[in-house]
Structure 1
Amino acid sequence: MRVDPLEARPVTLGRVRQSLDRLGHDSTVDGTRRLVIPGQRASLWFTLTGGQPTDSEPAMLSAQVVAHTRVPVAWEQRALTAANEWNNTRRLLRCCIGDACDDLTLPITADMYVPLGPGVHDALLDELMEYVAVSAQAWVTWLHDDAMLI
């Protein structure tokens, strides 16, 4: 069965993975049915919730970037200031500083949630996936170069 690339269709993790493949991003599926694009300084995770015929919620695509390096608790104010700067000057991808871990470090993540309702066509899905990947890379570079956190 041939699929019309201009037809809006429900979004599945399979379609997200196909889109990432078309864009040249290698991804794998982990044990909890999340897609991951591993990176040198951070990993980009995709999950999909809702969107089933029995759900009252539309499909929601979640993208989360997790920095591989955490910052010391002593840097909490510095990290929060940096996160606020990112969030006040950029859209969609939101920077978050997590709670202290047992080793007295703070995780740094960024996330984005996109409601996809009844679906999207392939070109729009590709555009969205490329935007997320480019934004994630820009965030990681910013954390390293400008914010000097990782």
Structure 2
Amino acid sequence: MSGLVLSDPVLPGAVARHLELQIRSAQRLLDLVLRQGAAIRERDVETVLGCLAEIQVEMAAREALEGEREALVARAAARLGIDREEVSLAALDSLATPAERDELLLRSAALRGLLAEIAREHGINRALMRQELTFLDHLIRISGEQPEPGPNRLMDVEA
């Protein structure tokens, strides 16, 4: 597509508002992931499960935000006369004032930072859960409640 810039004084503000919604959602998600991590460390199963349910709700909300993002990308692509894959904050320069550009860059950086922190904390939580489950599996095996893996027997009889 060729570069076709049609004026859209509303688009930069819409992108800024959308980034703010994304930031708020990411902050809620980070809070939940941190609370879940604390609950895992405390072996508080109810809180871990409660956080998981809240995380699922927030992820559903983030799916709706993704739909809004896609609509903004399509709108920007149409205004700029470029393919959707080419839309970036830099591509919006021609539609935004310098102050709007600075604000968009700040919000985008804040969002990227939050998403990186969420990914890091989620990775830690996964490792902690794996460690706890491995330990639980070990305890069950040594308690004699669960036989070691091996061939199944129909019946154990003592003579």
Please give the TM-score of this superposition, normalised by the length of structure 2.
0.27
**Counting helix residues as a fraction of each chain, which structure ranks higher?**
2
More contact order relative to length (CA 8 Å, sep ≥ 6): 2
Name the larger-Rg structure: 2
Please give the TM-score of this superposition, normalised by the length of structure 1.
0.28
**Counting strand residues as a fraction of each chain, which structure ranks higher?**
1
